[in-house]
């Protein structure tokens, strides 16, 4: 695919997803500066032309240059892509805000909800921009997309969202390739809630698999999990149709069934009897659903939305409730109609 306009893009976060997106963008012809927190990681990426810790086996071309200096990475860039974990998202974004130029677009590819404020990542950015008096357009990128598969060029479809159609279209053009199809949306809150909350359902699906239950159970969890996500999303102003799309059902199915899903892996090990702290200690990368469960639980209570799967996963993660008891609590709830119109 021909590149119409070469962009100079900053990618903030050199984990597997940030590195995969840097590779995607540079392979398309954009110049990318990739920010990593640790100088030794920067040196290794620039020297070896590969992120051997988080995305081994995928060479990076010379259009990707890593740096641990935010000012250097941000200065002069019109497109900034945020790909750091949700629990450090605000602190990193706050540090880079002073270096933002005029008419820039900041895109979040992080899927989570901030624990203290209960804000999505776009809301965190808007909050920090408002405090600083600096203006920038905000967008998000979400959808069913494992980093390794994107880096390998396996056909993938995602959604980008922004409040303005023209901004969403700009982001769409930057990322779109023959193997990375990008759809546009103006439903920021719906796309972000779908992206964050599906990780919790994936933990539940992993627990189910770890307990030895079958595909019947997994299908039920995915379907009823989507119902919970939709209820909360609609209460918070999202378009219900968003949750039948890539950022809703698409991402949910991938994360609940894929072997590359970190959140499903956490659930799988919990179902097999391992303790949460031991599981997290073994993992190199962040499973966002663990942090998000706490914030989503608070959010559901604030909004007065019934979310029984979320409730039980919260109790498993933070009250040490046995997985078998959590399953029984779900199965023995009062009978209900499936759809409430």
Half-sphere exposure (CA, 13 Å, Cβ side) for 250? 16
- Which of 197, 216, 233, 191 has the alpha carbon at shortest distance from 314? 197
As to burial, measured by CB atoms within 10 angstroms (0-12 exposed, 13-18 middle, 19+ buried), residue 176 is middle
pLDDT tens digit string along 66-82? 999 999 999 999 999 99
Residues 118 and 259 in one domain: no
Task: State yes or no: pLDDT of 336 exceeds 90.
Answer: no
Whether 339 is in a domain gets the answer no
CA distances from residue 282 to 53, 87, 263 in whole angstroms, order as listed = 15, 19, 13
If you write DSSP's letter for every residue of 142-171 in order, what string do you get?
ESS--HHHHHTT--EEEEEEESSHHHHHHH
End-to-end CA distance of the chain: 45
User: Of the candidates 142, 168, 186, which is a domain's last residue?
Assistant: 186
CA distances from residue 134 to 83, 101, 114, 138, 240 in whole angstroms, order as listed = 21, 9, 21, 12, 32
Whether 319 is in a domain gets the answer yes
pLDDT score of 2: 40
Mean pLDDT of the region 261-271: 95
| Residue that the structure tokens 């992080």 belong to | 110
Whether 125 is in a domain gets the answer yes
Which CATH number fits the domain that encloses residue 108?
A: 3.40.50.720
Residues 199 and 173 in one domain: no
Residues 204 and 288 in one domain: yes
User: Of the candidates 136, 163, 186, which is a domain's last residue?
Assistant: 186
Task: State yes or no: pLDDT of 260 exceeds 50.
Answer: yes
pLDDT score of 194: 97
Q: Please count the structural domains in the chain.
A: 2
pLDDT tens digit string along 91-145? 999 999 999 998 999 999 999 999 999 999 999 999 999 999 999 999 999 999 9
In which band, very low, low, confident or very high, does the pLDDT at 337 lie, cut at 50, 70 and 90?
confident
- Which of 190, 325, 315, 209 has the alpha carbon at shortest distance from 256? 209
User: Which of 53, 63, 111, 198 does the annotation list as catalytic?
Assistant: 198
The answer to whether 104 touches 80, Cβ cutoff 8 Å, is yes
Task: State yes or no: pLDDT of 297 exceeds 60.
Answer: yes
Q: What is the DSSP-derived secondary structure letter of residue 98?
A: G
Whether 3 is in a domain gets the answer no
Mean pLDDT of the region 167-177: 97
Bigger pLDDT: 262 vs 3: 262
For the question of residue 198 being annotated catalytic, the response is: yes
Task: State yes or no: pLDDT of 34 exceeds 70.
Answer: yes
Residues 208 and 225 in one domain: yes
Average pLDDT in the chain:
95
Q: How many residues does the chain have?
A: 341
Residues 131 and 268 in one domain: no
Which CATH number fits the domain that encloses residue 303?
A: 1.10.1040.10
H-helix or E-strand spanning residue 339 = none
Residues 312 and 208 in one domain: yes
Whether 341 is in a domain gets the answer no
Please list the residues that pair with 51 across neighbouring strands: 55
Whether 336 is in a domain gets the answer no
How far is 94 from 258, CA to CA, in rounded Å?
Answer: 34
Tell me which residue range forms the domain holding 88: 8-186
Half-sphere exposure (CA, 13 Å, Cβ side) for 43? 3
Half-sphere exposure (CA, 13 Å, Cβ side) for 232? 30
Residues 121 and 135 in one domain: yes
How far is 153 from 142, CA to CA, in rounded Å?
Answer: 17
Residues in contact with 45: Cβ distance below 8 Å, sequence separation at least 6, in sequence order: 14, 19, 34, 36, 51, 60, 64, 66
Residues 164 and 225 in one domain: no
Whether 288 is in a domain gets the answer yes
Residues 288 and 179 in one domain: no
User: Of the candidates 141, 160, 186, which is a domain's last residue?
Assistant: 186
pLDDT score of 81: 98
Whether 2 is in a domain gets the answer no
pLDDT score of 341: 57
Residues 151 and 226 in one domain: no
How far is 141 from 134, CA to CA, in rounded Å?
Answer: 22
pLDDT score of 3: 44
Residues 12 and 94 in one domain: yes
Please list the residues that pair with 33 across neighbouring strands: 10, 65
Residues 132 and 198 in one domain: no
């Amino acid at each position: 695919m021909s590149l119409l306009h070469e962009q100079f893009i900053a990618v903030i976060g050199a984990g597997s997803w940030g590195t995969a997106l840097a590779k995607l963008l540079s392979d398309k012809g954009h110049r990318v500066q990739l920010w990593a927190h640790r100088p030794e990681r920067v040196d290794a990426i620039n020297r070896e032309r590969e992120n051997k810790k988080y995305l081994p086996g995928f060479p990076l071309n010379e259009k990707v240059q890593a740096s641990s200096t935010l000012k250097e990475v941000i200065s002069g860039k019109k497109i900034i892509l945020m790909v750091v974990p949700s629990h450090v998202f605000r602190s990193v974004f706050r540090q880079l805000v002073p270096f933002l130029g005029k008419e820039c677009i900041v895109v979040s590819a992080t899927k989570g909800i901030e624990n203290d404020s209960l804000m999505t990542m776009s809301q965190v950015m808007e909050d920090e921009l408002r405090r600083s008096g600096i203006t920038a357009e905000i967008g998000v990128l979400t959808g069913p997309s494992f980093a390794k598969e994107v880096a390998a060029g396996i056909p993938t479809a995602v959604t980008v969202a922004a409040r303005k159609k023209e901004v969403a279209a700009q982001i769409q053009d930057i990322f779109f390739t023959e193997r990375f199809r990008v759809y546009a949306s103006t439903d920021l809150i719906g796309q972000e809630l779908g992206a964050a909350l599906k990780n919790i359902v994936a933990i539940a699906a992993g627990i189910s698999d770890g307990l030895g239950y079958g595909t019947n159970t997994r299908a039920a969890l995915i379907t009823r999990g989507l119902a919970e996500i939709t209820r909360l999303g609609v209460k918070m102003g999202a378009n219900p149709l968003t949750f039948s799309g890539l950022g809703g059902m698409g991402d949910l199915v991938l994360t609940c069934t894929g072997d590359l899903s970190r959140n499903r892996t956490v659930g799988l090990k919990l179902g097999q009897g391992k303790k949460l702290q031991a599981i997290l200690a073994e993992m190199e990368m962040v499973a966002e659903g663990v942090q998000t469960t706490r914030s989503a639980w608070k959010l559901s209570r604030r909004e007065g939305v019934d979310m029984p799967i979320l409730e039980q996963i919260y109790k498993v993660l933070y009250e040490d409730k046995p997985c078998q008891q959590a399953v029984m609590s779900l199965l023995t709830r009062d009978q209900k109609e499936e759809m409430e119109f």
